[in-house]
Every structure is written in C-alpha cells, then in structure tokens.
Amino acid sequence: MSSDIQSTLQFLVLNNHLALAGVTAVVYDYTLTFSRELDYIWHRPWTWVSTMFVVVRYLGLYWIVSTALFGSSFVPGPSEVSQFCDKRWISNGQIDTIITVVVDGVYDNPYTSVTTIRILDFSFCVAPYNNVNVSVSYYVAPRLVLGAILTILAVFQTLKQSFGMYKATKVWQPNRYMRKLVKDGILYFVMNVLYQTNDLLNITGLPLGNTAIFLQAFVSIAFYIAIPLFVISIRELYDRDIHRGFHIDTGFGVQSRSNAGTDATVSAIVFEDENRSGDPVTSADLEMGRRAHRSSSNEDPSIDRE
C-alpha cells in the first residue's frame, strides 16, 4: 500500500511540474509577442488567417491555463482519462492544418500539397491506447514517414541555399543561417515529426517511462505557441523584407512575389543590412544580389523596372 501511495505522489508531483511549465511557457510567449500581435494581426485587414490566429491563440491560452490549474492530467496516474486525451481530436486537426499551411505558404506553392485535414475525429481517444489493436499503427506510420520526408526535404533546401550564400560570399555567417532556418519553417516540420512519433509510441504501448510523458506534454502545448508565432513571423517577414513596409491584405501577407526593384533592393532582401543583422554587407553580397536580379530579369522580361 505504501508503494502505491508513493507512486501516486510521484505522479502528482510530476503532473504539477508539467502543468506549471505549460502555463509559464504559454503566458510568457503571449507576453513577449503581444506587441507584434497588435502590429501584424489587429492593425491589419482581417483575413481567414487572422481568425485562425485568434482562435488558436486564445483557445489554447484558455485551455492550457484552465486545464493545468484545475484538474490537469499530463501523466497516467490515478485519473482514468486524461483531459488532454479527450481533446486530442482538436490537436490532430490543428497539426494537419498548420502543416498544410506551412507547405503551401512558406514555399509559395499555389496549390495545396497536403490535403488530409481531420477535424471531427471524436472517437480516436475513446479506448485506451494500450488496448488498441497493433494494426492501428499502420494508420499512424504513413503520417510519420510523410512528416519525416517533408522534414528532410525542407532541411535539404535550407542547407542548399545556405551553401549557395557561402559560395557567393566565401564567409560562414551562422547568424544568417539560423535566421533562415527559422524563416523557412523547419521547426514546424520537426514538431510535426515529434507529434507523429508520440502518436505511434502511444498506440504501440512501448514502455518508455517518463520520456513518453514529457513528449506527450510537449506536443500538447507546443502547437498553441507555434501556430501564432508562425503567422506573426510570416507576416513580419513579408512586411519588412519583401514589401518594405507596404500593408498586407490577404492571408499571410503574401500579395505576390516582389521581383521588381534595383540591384540594391535585391541585395537588401537576400542579405539583410548591417543595422538589423549585425553583419556588414560585403561586395560579394552585392554581387550575388545583382546576379540574382539579372537572372530573374532574363527569365521574365515583363518585369517592371522602376
């Protein structure tokens, strides 16, 4: 009996720590990004992306804080059904949606590359995971493989462009590469792989101990932070680097690809100026920008040269 009590207390302590960490992460992120939210969401024309942002951000803020403070169940302790498991169908729909938007928006694809969006999957968490037939893993495995392939392709594209920058400048600039890694949305692909891995581990019931618990808590909280950050970052990027301060009125703010401009403009877009990045723009930077501009001009003679 004493061992059962001790085990229960350990579950409660771990659950309280995870609940506190979740509340801290969400509230801290909300505080840091509130000014950017005002600039890029509330002070801009309203779109469907603005609606998605508000719903995900404030629904997530309310849900995580209320669940963590009033009867959370991050770990499989005394509670028979986890509140996070009850709402798992919401997370599934959000994750599928954000990956679709990332593939469609970040890489400027005019057509939706991923079309599987499941919103009304209420029955997915009715039965305990450990009692689900192993054949269900064949449902999750393709999603994990697809997520891994998308992650590999996204990382490959980013590395290829980074090496292209190095080849032109002959200088390694880690700060720029890290900013590019974030702007290309690599972190969202990685988070999707982690979520699908967590799904597969839960279904197969592998005894991973606290590792599975921490992974479950992470994927339950991360997307309520990642999705709003993604929307703000995309709008900020196009407003600052592409349109140079022009208003944004559709979707993520991508009105069109900005191909027009002088050599200096192209160089400033490809390589951020010294005031923002802290790295001086070299003559090699300017030359690479001129080459990119000439190349795009040759491919599309209808470009309006201002």
- Flag whether pLDDT at 38 surpasses 80: yes
> Domain extents for the chain?
2-244, 259-306
pLDDT, residue 178, reads: 73
| Averaged pLDDT score across all residues of the chain | 65
208-231 residue pLDDT tens: 666 767 777 777 777 778 778 878
Residue 298 has pLDDT above 50, yes or no: yes
* CB-based contact 165:159 (threshold 8 Å): no
* Alpha-carbon gap, residue 97 to 3, rounded angstroms: 44
Mean pLDDT lowest among 30-34, 96-100, 165-169, 238-242: 96-100
pLDDT for 239: 73
| Residue 241, pLDDT score | 61
Q: What is the mean pLDDT of residues 235-258?
A: 52
- 136 pLDDT more than 60: no
Please give the pLDDT value at position 172: 80
* Residue 114 reports pLDDT greater than 70: no
Of 75-79, 179-183, 298-302, which range is least confident?
Answer: 75-79
Q: Does the pLDDT at position 103 exceed 60?
A: no
The predicted-structure confidence for 247-272, as pLDDT tens digits, reads as follows: 444 344 444 334 334 444 433 433 34
Give the separation between CA 55 and CA 34, rounded to whole angstroms: 15
Buried b (16+ CB within 10 A) or exposed e, 203-222: beeeeeeeebbbbbbbbbbb
- pLDDT of 60 reads 80
pLDDT at 198: 74
Highest mean pLDDT: which range of 159-163, 215-219, 236-240, 269-273: 159-163
Total Cβ atoms within 10 A of residue 109: 11
Contact 252, 105 (CB under 8 A): yes
pLDDT score at 295: 56
Residue 278: pLDDT over 50: no
Per-residue pLDDT at 293: 53
The residue with greater pLDDT, 229 or 9, is 229
Q: What is the mean pLDDT of residues 48-77?
A: 74
Tokens 């490959």 belong to which residue?
156
Q: Cα separation of 267 and 261, whole Å?
A: 10
